[in-house]
Amino acid sequence: MNAVTPATPELTAAERDRILAKTALFNPPPITTADGRRELVGLSREELAAEMVAMGEKPFRAKQLWHWIYHQGVTDFAAMSSIAGPMRAALAERFVVGRPQATEVQTSSDETRKWLFRWRDGQEVETVYIPDRHADRGAVCISTQVGCTLSCRFCHTGTQKLVRNLGAAEIVGQFMAARDSYAEWPSPKDDQPRLLSTIVVMGMGEPLYNYENTAKALRIIMDGEGIGLSRRRITLSTSGVVPMMDRCGEELGVNLAVSLHAVTDELRNEIVPLNRKYPIRELLDACRRYPGASNARRITFEYVMLRGVNDSEAEARELVRLLAGLPAKINLIPFNPWPGSPYQTSTHEQTARFAAILNDAGYSSPIRRPRGRDILAACGQLKTESERERKAAG
Ligand code: SAH
Ligand code: SF4
């Protein structure tokens, strides 16, 4: 078994603070409407209570509001029947409970649905719902940034420069709007079936380069008196922002997926350029330290199958060697093409040979069936027109 390098606490903390300070520069301002009303979605319980106190109400009102917003899914204060009329009116004067505007909704021949959501400043992201094909459940794939600072060679989002981070309201708002679309309010109990049963933080952007907003949003989503999806139903995917991984595990405890895609630093440097900063060994050490990683809660490694690039049998054997001792599952993702993309997906036979080597070594290694390719909704195909500085029309 490979030895695990312990994290160097001072170094990690310094690097983490540097990342947090730098990424905060891309945060959106608090959301207010043109007439100055403030968005309530995305506020923490404490912030909501502080807003109530500021308007001369008791803090417990926040609990009632929370219930209406996140359990009932209500957006109109007038429908909040447990709150007296005058207070509902006072709330409506000061606040809104909003949703992003769905400017485009497409449904694939395989029932995958994709929304193009627009925020008040005109920026747009995509969100995808992937229904399970044999059951009444499915995953909502949410975005955390408009564009991405990283530029993985096989990823469409990576060709869109980072415009800005999404705020907590916008991250939670994607899920809430998806629920509106399937009429799944009030929030079902944890043991009841639900169409939107899991969340994968695998849309546009690198969530660990927008950690604070993502964490705040996920805490709201996991709150048992609201949406109530447990951490076991949430998977966050990272391309390997090592200094933030420990914190994600300790504070959120969600399932972790890691976009590995190569077994040598030489190749990973090229196709996942973040590897130049955090090479494979450091990344796998962070995985070994990830709190809660166990056989029951394995770390998912994502491996995009690129024909003739990373799909040889020797590479499959090296992958087995690298993952020794790690409770892991490997998702083999056929490469999803996009306009101008530089790769081809591996042949089915080669993917099956690759999978067989992993299976023989005891790893579950499902070959993902591409979903929603016809509407560019599959992994790595998301992109919007938003640009950092919009060119003047005409
Ligand atoms: N930024 C995060 C999460 C978003 S990407 C990350 O990189 O992990 C979600 C997954 O889709 C990642 O594993 C990513 O590597 C993979 N992916 C990107 N482009 C792809 C493509 N064209 N075909 C298949 N998978 C792709
Ligand atoms: Fe960004 Fe993830 Fe795409 Fe890489 S794969 S460019 S990290 S969204």
**According to the model, what pLDDT value does residue 13 have?**
86
The rounded Å distance from CA 292 to ligand 2 centre is 25
> Which of 6, 5, 23 is CA-nearest to residue 241?
23
Q: Is 163 in the pocket of ligand 2 (CB under 6 A)?
A: no
Number of domains in the chain: 2
Q: Which of 199, 300, 333 to mutate to test the pocket of ligand 1 (most atoms within 8 A of CB)?
A: 333
CA 98, CA 172: separation in Å to the nearest integer? Answer: 11
Domain co-membership, 211 together with 256: yes
**According to the model, what pLDDT value does residue 130 have?**
96
Structural domain contains residue 289: yes
Domain co-membership, 222 together with 317: yes
**Of the residues 96, 119, 141, which one is the last residue of a structural domain?**
96
**Of the residues 96, 114, 133, which one is the last residue of a structural domain?**
96
Domain co-membership, 69 together with 87: yes
Structural domain contains residue 16: no
Domain co-membership, 74 together with 112: no
Domain around 312: 101-393
Q: Is 150 in the pocket of ligand 2 (CB under 6 A)?
A: yes
**According to the model, what pLDDT value does residue 191 have?**
78
Instruction: Classify each residue of 55-78 as buried b or exposed e, where b means 16 or more C-beta atoms within 10 Å of its C-beta.
Output: eebeeebbeebbbbbbbebbbebe
**According to the model, what pLDDT value does residue 7 have?**
65
This prediction has a pTM of 0.94
Over the chain (394 residues), what is each successive 10-residue block's mean pLDDT? Answer: 61 88 90 90 96 93 97 97 95 96 94 94 94 89 96 93 95 98 90 91 97 98 95 96 94 96 98 97 94 80 98 98 94 93 95 98 93 88 79 41
Q: Is 271 in the pocket of ligand 2 (CB under 6 A)?
A: no
Domain co-membership, 61 together with 180: no
CB 9 within 8 A of CB 30: no
Listing DSSP states for 114-174 in one string gives EEEEE-TTS-EEEEEEEE-TTSS-EEEE---EES-S---TT-SGGGS---EEPPHHHHHHH
CA 257, CA 235: separation in Å to the nearest integer? Answer: 7
**According to the model, what pLDDT value does residue 4 have?**
63
Q: Is 370 in the pocket of ligand 1 (CB under 6 A)?
A: no
Domain co-membership, 146 together with 290: yes
* Residue numbers annotated as active site: 126, 379
Structural domain contains residue 376: yes
Residues in CB range of 353: below 8 A, 6 or more apart = 313, 316
**According to the model, what pLDDT value does residue 392 have?**
43
**According to the model, what pLDDT value does residue 106 have?**
95
Domain co-membership, 178 together with 327: yes
Domain co-membership, 290 together with 320: yes
Structural domain contains residue 209: yes
Q: Whose CA is nearest to atom 8 of ligand 2?
A: 205
Helices (H) and strands (E) in the chain, counts: 11, 13
